[in-house]
């Protein structure tokens, strides 16, 4: 619809769905800069730090109670997980060490240590995990504000006019701010209708909470306090990322009928089965909307790392059942927890290793940690009553390892009246790829994990930007190996899928099909492009 004469339209990013109209309330975070004044008194700083940690723990407990009252226990877990992180004695020890060894005050110690955790998380490949950095940023910001005794405030231009939560704008306001935090969302009062923010992705906990509360969020609006005047009437569309300043009544009316936008649907092509990656339970509905022919990889570790604790058998069963039910007979491949290396957390208590990418990770870790393996196996078996489940074991190095994992799975689920469970591996370790024929003699399906395979085959760190990824994907050795695996799959008459960045890049889809790969698993939003790239391409039937 064309804008009415006085309307100004901005385009941001969709973060939480829904349409709202309200008056702008500019919410400001205190400036982050901070300078230590001379050498600090370590005892005094230690006291300040302890007082602040205790204050934050109390505050998070209150937030958890508020979230539970307004939503449910799962939403309360967002704050309880933050509290567990703060209560970890190792964190306190580390902050004290920094104050003592680097002769800095409590604010600087918090900035340095939590800033380092944030940086680690931001470097992780999986978007959902990258978003967890926002949780740490929120804690860092809260602790530093408290230490400095400066709290967020609302303002109009240069005038600070009201404490947060007591905005005089009255009914129906839209909070305009740089950073969306979980606490801000949960503290939103009954007049809050939504948020416009500069930073904050759709997978952040703050966005999850906003979705649960039905509050639309538009992200990616640069310098929002310069762009949106205080008290201006605004319309936000959290499905499209559109913002309209001073909307005309006919604009408001035309918007009121719009619904949530899911990824574009496309229809299957005969040349290739296109399945969806699921990094988080919200992605399941995106997979359905996109017309995915199943779920190719459900990355179960994402939730565990986000919640900072293992999920219980019941919690896992609920998620897997949801996926199997939503897919209504289409295959659902759930990957057993792929933890270790960059997918780690302190609470996992993994051994300190010089090179964790080659250490206790993936299937090695699953074999070593029954308390992670057994509840997941049982939850999968219980979910299989609603439809077949394909279990993928990550980072498997040899056939014996696969046989041992499958045997343990079967032992763990004894007594459960399960449905059909298929077992297969993710081909990520080059040695396992070379043994594809031996694997296909004993397993039901295979899936190429191109991200890790490229890393280990071509000695290119998946997190490094030293090489052009598309050039790396051209390496002939990679394609020789892919054809080798496809031949083994064809000879056994069993499926071979590909996932990871290579599979999601339409530039390489034809080549995968021509090499004999029969399915790919990609992010739901990439499904139409991948299908489009392959229409009319002849596949190879090995075997
Ligand atoms: C891969 O390695 O390609 C893969 C899909 O697994 P990850 O979650 O490690 O990206
Ligand atoms: Mg991998």
Decide: 296 in ligand 1 pocket, CB within 6 A.
no
| Residue 176 token pair | 């305009």
Q: At 106, is the secondary structure helix, strand, or coil?
A: helix
Ranked by mean pLDDT, which of 7-21, 53-67, 411-425 comes out on top?
411-425
What is the structure's pLDDT at 131? 74
Residue 37's DSSP bridge partners are: none
Distance CA 531, CA 510 (A): 10
Interval 460-508: pLDDT, tens = 887 676 778 889 999 999 999 999 999 999 999 999 999 998 999 999 9
Decide: 40 in ligand 1 pocket, CB within 6 A.
no
CATH entry 3.40.640.10 includes domain 273-535: no
Residue 4 confidence (pLDDT) above 70: no
What is the structure's pLDDT at 261? 60
Q: According to the 3-state scheme, what is the secondary structure of 411-441? A: HHCCCCCCCCEEEEEEECCHHHHHCHHHHHH
Query: 133-148 and 73-87 helices cross at what angle (nearest 10)?
Result: 60
Atom of ligand 1 minimally distant from the CA of 501: 3
pLDDT-derived band at 160 (thresholds 50, 70, 90) equals: low
What residues have CB less than 8 Å from 89, skipping those under 6 apart? none
What is the structure's pLDDT at 332? 98
Distance CA 247, CA 233 (A): 7
DSSP 267-322: --BTTBEEEEEESSTHHHHHHHHTT-SSEEEEETHHHHHHHTSPPPHHHHHHHHHH
What is the structure's pLDDT at 77? 84
What is the structure's pLDDT at 3? 59
Atom of ligand 1 minimally distant from the CA of 447: 5
Interval 302-360: pLDDT, tens = 778 766 678 999 999 999 999 999 999 999 999 999 999 878 777 788 888 889 899 99
Are the C-beta atoms of 376 and 336 separated by less than 8 Å? yes
- Among 242-246, 403-407, 484-488, 523-527, the least confident range: 523-527
Rg (CA), the chain: 25
Q: Which of 279, 277, 337 is nearest to 503 (CA)?
A: 277
The whole-number average pLDDT for the span 511-516 is 96
Atom of ligand 1 minimally distant from the CA of 503: 3
pLDDT-derived band at 173 (thresholds 50, 70, 90) equals: confident
Decide: 450 in ligand 1 pocket, CB within 6 A.
yes
What residues have CB less than 8 Å from 504, skipping those under 6 apart? 277, 520, 522, 523, 526, 530
Please report how many Cα atoms fall inside a 13 Å half-sphere around the Cα of residue 169, on the Cβ side.
27
Residue 217's DSSP bridge partners are: 16, 195
- Among 100-104, 183-187, 372-376, the least confident range: 183-187
Interval 22-76: pLDDT, tens = 889 888 877 655 666 667 788 899 999 999 999 999 999 988 888 887 777 778 8
Q: Which residue has the higher pLDDT, 535 or 402?
A: 402
What is the structure's pLDDT at 39? 73
What is the structure's pLDDT at 450? 95
Q: Atom 8 (ligand 1): residue with closest C-alpha?
A: 299
Q: What is the mean pLDDT of the chain?
A: 88
Decide: 297 in ligand 1 pocket, CB within 6 A.
yes
Decide: 279 in ligand 1 pocket, CB within 6 A.
no
Q: Atom 4 (ligand 1): residue with closest C-alpha?
A: 449
Residue 126 confidence (pLDDT) above 90: no
What is the structure's pLDDT at 167? 57
Atom of ligand 1 minimally distant from the CA of 500: 3
Please give the distance of CA 76 from its chain centroid, rounded to a whole number: 18
- Among 182-196, 443-457, 493-507, the least confident range: 182-196
Kindly identify the ligand whose nearest atom is closest to the C-alpha of 337: 1
Class of domain 42-148: mainly alpha
Decide: 392 in ligand 1 pocket, CB within 6 A.
no
Decide: 452 in ligand 1 pocket, CB within 6 A.
yes
The whole-number average pLDDT for the span 380-395 is 98
Domain boundaries, the chain: 8-26+161-255, 42-148, 273-535
Ligand 1: residue of 275, 295, 299 to mutate (most ligand atoms within 8 A of CB) is 299
Residue 408 confidence (pLDDT) above 90: yes
| Residue 326 token pair | 């939503």
Decide: 462 in ligand 1 pocket, CB within 6 A.
no
Residue 180 confidence (pLDDT) above 90: no
Kindly identify the ligand whose nearest atom is closest to the C-alpha of 126: 1
| Residue 97 token pair | 């060490």
Decide: 435 in ligand 1 pocket, CB within 6 A.
no
Q: Which residue has the higher pLDDT, 387 or 35?
A: 387
Decide: 343 in ligand 1 pocket, CB within 6 A.
no
Q: Which of 332, 443, 426 is nearest to 386 (CA)?
A: 332
- Among 86-100, 252-266, 291-305, 353-367, the least confident range: 252-266
What is the model's pTM? 0.65
What is the structure's pLDDT at 218? 94
Decide: 333 in ligand 1 pocket, CB within 6 A.
no
- Among 39-53, 243-257, 285-299, 366-380, the least confident range: 243-257
Distance CA 370, CA 379 (A): 14
| Residue 149 token pair | 């005794």
pLDDT-derived band at 425 (thresholds 50, 70, 90) equals: very high
Ranked by mean pLDDT, which of 82-86, 97-101, 331-335 comes out on top?
331-335
Please give the distance of CA 129 from its chain centroid, rounded to a whole number: 4
CATH of domain 8-26+161-255: 3.50.30.10
The whole-number average pLDDT for the span 355-377 is 95
Decide: 449 in ligand 1 pocket, CB within 6 A.
yes
What is the CA(9)–ligand 2 centre distance, in A?
41
Distance CA 393, CA 388 (A): 16
Kindly identify the ligand whose nearest atom is closest to the C-alpha of 521: 1
| Residue 456 token pair | 């280990």
Helix (H) or strand (E) holding 472: helix 469-473
Kindly identify the ligand whose nearest atom is closest to the C-alpha of 343: 1
Q: Calculate what percentage of the chain has a pLDDT beyond 90.
A: 53
Atom of ligand 1 minimally distant from the CA of 428: 2
């Amino acid at each position: 619809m064309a804008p009415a004469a006085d309307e100004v339209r901005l385009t941001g990013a969709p973060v939480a769905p829904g349409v709202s109209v309200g008056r702008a309330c500019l919410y400001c975070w205190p400036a982050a800069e901070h300078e230590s004044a001379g050498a600090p008194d370590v005892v005094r700083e230690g006291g300040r730090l302890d007082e602040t940690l205790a204050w934050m723990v109390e505050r998070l407990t209150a937030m958890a109670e508020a979230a539970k009252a307004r939503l449910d226990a799962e939403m309360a877990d967002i704050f309880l997980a933050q509290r567990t992180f703060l209560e970890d004695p190792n964190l306190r020890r580390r902050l004290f060490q920094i104050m003592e060894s680097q002769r800095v005050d409590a604010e600087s110690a918090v900035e340095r240590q939590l800033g380092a955790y944030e940086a680690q998380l931001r470097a992780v490949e999986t978007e959902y995990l990258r978003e967890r950095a926002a949780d740490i940023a929120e804690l860092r910001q809260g602790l530093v504000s408290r230490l400095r005794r400066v709290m967020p405030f609302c303002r109009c231009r240069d005038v600070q006019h009201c404490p947060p939560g007591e905005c005089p704008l009255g009914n129906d306001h839209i909070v305009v701010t740089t950073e969306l935090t979980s606490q801000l969302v949960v503290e939103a009062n009954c007049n809050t209708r939504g948020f416009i923010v500069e930073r904050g992705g759709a997978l952040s906990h703050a966005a999850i909470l906003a979705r649960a509360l039905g509050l639309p969020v538009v992200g990616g609006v640069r310098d929002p306090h310069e762009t949106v005047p205080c008290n201006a009437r605004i319309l936000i569309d959290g499905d499209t990322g559109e913002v309209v300043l001073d909307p005309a009544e006919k604009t408001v009316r035309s918007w009121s009928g719009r619904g949530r936008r899911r990824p574009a649907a496309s229809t299957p092509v005969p040349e290739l089965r296109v399945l969806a990656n699921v990094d988080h339970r919200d992605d399941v509905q995106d997979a359905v909307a996109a017309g995915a022919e199943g779920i190719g990889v459900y990355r179960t570790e994402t939730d565990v790392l986000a919640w900072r604790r293992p999920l219980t058998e019941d919690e896992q069963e609920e998620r897997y059942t949801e996926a199997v039910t939503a897919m209504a007979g289409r295959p659902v491949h759930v990957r057993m927890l792929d933890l270790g290396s960059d997918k780690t957390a302190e609470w996992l208590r993994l051994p300190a290793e010089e090179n964790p990418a080659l250490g206790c990770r993936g299937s090695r870790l699953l074999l070593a940690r029954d308390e992670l393996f057994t509840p997941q196996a049982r939850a999968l078996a219980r979910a299989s009553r609603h439809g077949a489940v394909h279990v993928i074991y990550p980072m498997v190095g040899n056939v014996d390892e696969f046989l041992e994992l499958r045997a343990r799975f079967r032992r763990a689920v004894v007594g459960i009246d399960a449905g059909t469970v298929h077992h297969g591996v993710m081909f990520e370790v080059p040695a396992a790829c070379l043994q594809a024929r031996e694997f296909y003699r004993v397993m039901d399906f295979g899936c190429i994990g191109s991200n890790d395979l490229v890393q280990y085959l071509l000695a290119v760190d998946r997190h490094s930007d030293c090489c052009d990824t598309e050039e790396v994907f051209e390496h002939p050795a990679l394609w020789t190996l892919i054809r080798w695996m496809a031949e083994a799959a064809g000879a056994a008459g069993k499926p071979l899928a590909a996932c990871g960045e290579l599979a999601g890049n339409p530039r390489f889809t034809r080549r995968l099909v021509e090499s004999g790969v029969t399915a790919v698993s990609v992010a739901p939003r990439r499904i139409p492009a991948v299908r489009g790239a392959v229409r009319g391409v002849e596949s190879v039937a090995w075997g």
